Amino acid sequence: MNFVIRVLAAHLVVVAGWACAQSDWVALGRLQDSEFYYDPVNIRQTVSVLTKTPHLWRVWTIQSWDAPTAAGARSDRSQYEYDCSSNRFRVLQQQSFTGPMADGARLAKISSPSDWMVVSPNTAPANLRDIVCN
């Protein structure tokens, strides 16, 4: 009986952790034929290995299209990284899904970071930078 109680307790911990990890995505705005969202709860700051000082900010996003793309994707979930002091960003990882809001089957996954890009004014990355870097 003691074993059963421990197993049930472990399952409750896993379920509670999963529920806490769920995000309430916030709409950032429309981009042509899609809606762009970000996760305000999981914005994280990284620390420079060399200087041991806060350095970069990471944020998760979802871009959800009104209709499927040519590749069949209805949404992408991406992790952006911002270097606020240099006004630049890159995409660390990205996944495409068949359903809206990163739901459905995963079509593709990119795990290697993109090159650094300058944040252009009046763009979704600029709007997101204003939120993440302030």
Domain limits for position 87: 24-132
Note the pLDDT of residue 52.
66
Domain count, the chain: 1
Phi and psi (nearest 5°) for 132?
Answer: -70, -40
Question: The domain spanning residue 90 has which CATH number?
Answer: 2.40.128.710
CA distance 23 to 39: 6
In a domain, 40, yes or no: yes
Q: 117 pLDDT exceeds 50?
A: yes
The Cα–Cα gap between 81 and 103 comes to 23
State yes or no: pLDDT of 11 exceeds 80.
no
**Residue 69 resides in a domain:** yes
What is d(CA 67, CA 61) in angstroms, rounded to the nearest whole number? 18
**What pLDDT is recorded for position 75?**
98
Q: Per residue in 50-109, pLDDT tens?
A: 766 667 999 999 999 999 999 999 999 999 999 998 999 999 999 999 999 999 999 999
111 domain-assigned: yes
Q: CA 104, CA 74: separation in Å to the nearest integer? A: 9
Question: Is the separation of the CB atoms in 97 and 57 below 8 Å?
Answer: no
54 domain-assigned = yes
Q: Is the pLDDT reported for residue 10 higher than 70?
A: no
Beta bridge partners of 57: 45, 82
Q: How far apart are CA 103 and CA 52, in angstroms?
A: 37
Q: What confidence tens digit (pLDDT) does each residue in 12-27 have?
A: 333 333 333 456 999 9
**From residue 103, how far is each of 44, 68, 131 by CA, in Å?**
23, 13, 25
Please state the pTM of the whole predicted model. 0.77
DSSP state of 100: G
